[in-house]
C-alpha cells in the first residue's frame, strides 16, 4: 500500500514540475527546476505543509528534491530548538549530509570510471 502511495505522491510532484516547464512562457532549465523545488520544499516544510505529505507518501515525498528541502528545513528547526542560534547554521547541512556526501562521492567515482557516450 505504501508503495502505491509513494508512486502517486512522487508522480504528482514530478507532474507539477513538468507542467511548470511546459506551460510557463519562461525558459525553465533542469537547474531552475531543481533549485525551485529545493527552496519550495524547504519553505513548505517550515510552514508545516510538507510533513503531512511525507506521512502519506513516504519515499514519494522524500525522494523528489523537494524532500531534500524538507530535510534541510526540519534539520534546522530541530537544531534551533536544541542549540539555539547556532543550530540555525548547523542543522540543515547536518541533516542533509548523507545525501550530499553520497552525491559527491558517487558522482566523482562515476566520472572517473566512465566516459560520456554522446
Partner 1 sequence: MSAPKRVGQHTLQFANPPVIVATASVVGPKEGEGPLGQTFDIVIDDSYFGEETWEKAERKMLEEAVKLVVAKAQLKPQDIDFLLAGDLLNQTISANYAARTLGIPFLGLYGACSTMYEGMALAAMLIDGGFAHHVVAACSSHYDTAERQYRFPTEQGVQRPPTAQWTVTGAGAVLMAPVGNGPRITHATIGRVLDVGIKDPTDMGSAMAPAAVDTIIRHFQDTSRGPIDYDLIITGDLGRVGHEIATKLLGEQKYDVSHNYSDCGILIYDHERQDTHAGGSGCACSAVVFAGHLMGKLNEGRYKRILGVGTGALLSTTATQQGESIPGIGHGVVIEKLG
Partner 2 sequence: MADSKQPGPPKKPLTLAEQVMQQKQTYDQQAYQRLADGVKPRHNVLVNALNAFWVGGSIAALAQIITLIFIATGANPQDASTAATIIMVFLGAFMTGLGIYDEIGKVAGAGSIIPITGFANSIVAPAMEYKREGFVFGVAARMFTIAGPVLVYGFVVSVLIGLIAYFLK
* DSSP H/E element including 40: helix 30-46
Distance CA 76, CA 71 (A): 9
Q: Residue 56 binds which entry of partner 1, partner 2, none, with Cβ cut-offs from 5 to 8 Å by kind?
A: none
Distance CA 83, CA 77 (A): 10
- The length of the chain, given as a count of residues: 118
Contact between 24 and partner 1 (CB under 8 A)?
Answer: no
Q: How many residues bind partner 1 (CB under 8 A)?
A: 7
In the range 23-42, which residues lie near partner 2 by CB under 8 A? 23, 30-31, 33-35, 37-39, 42
Give the other-Cβ count within 10 Å of 53's Cβ: 22
CB distance 74 to 46 below 8 Å: no
Give the residue among 75, 9, 14, 67 at the shortest CA–CA distance from 41.
67
Residue choice 27, 48, 84, 112 for contact with partner 1 (CB under 8 A): 27
**Smallest distance, Å, CB 116 to partner 1?**
5
Binding mask 80-109 vs partner 2 (x if CB under 8 A, - otherwise)?
Answer: x---xx-xxx-xxx--x-xxx-xxx-xxxx
Contact between 34 and partner 1 (CB under 8 A)?
Answer: no
Contact between 21 and partner 1 (CB under 8 A)?
Answer: yes
Point out which residues bind partner 1 (CB under 8 A): 21, 27, 29-30, 116-118
Amino acid at each position: 500500500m505504501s508503495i502505491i502511495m509513494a508512486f502517486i505522491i512522487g508522480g504528482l510532484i514530478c507532474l507539477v514540475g513538468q507542467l511548470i516547464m511546459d506551460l510557463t512562457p519562461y525558459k525553465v532549465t533542469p537547474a531552475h527546476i531543481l533549485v525551485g523545488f529545493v527552496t519550495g520544499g524547504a519553505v513548505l516544510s517550515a510552514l508545516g505543509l510538507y510533513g503531512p505529505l511525507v506521512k502519506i507518501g513516504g519515499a514519494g515525498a522524500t525522494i523528489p528534491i523537494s524532500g531534500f528541502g524538507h530535510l534541510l528545513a526540519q534539520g534546522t528547526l530541530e537544531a534551533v530548538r536544541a542549540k539555539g542560534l547556532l543550530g540555525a547554521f548547523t542543522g540543515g547541512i547536518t541533516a542533509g549530509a548523507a545525501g550530499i556526501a553520497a552525491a559527491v562521492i558517487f558522482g566523482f567515482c562515476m566520472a572517473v570510471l566512465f566516459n560520456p557516450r554522446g
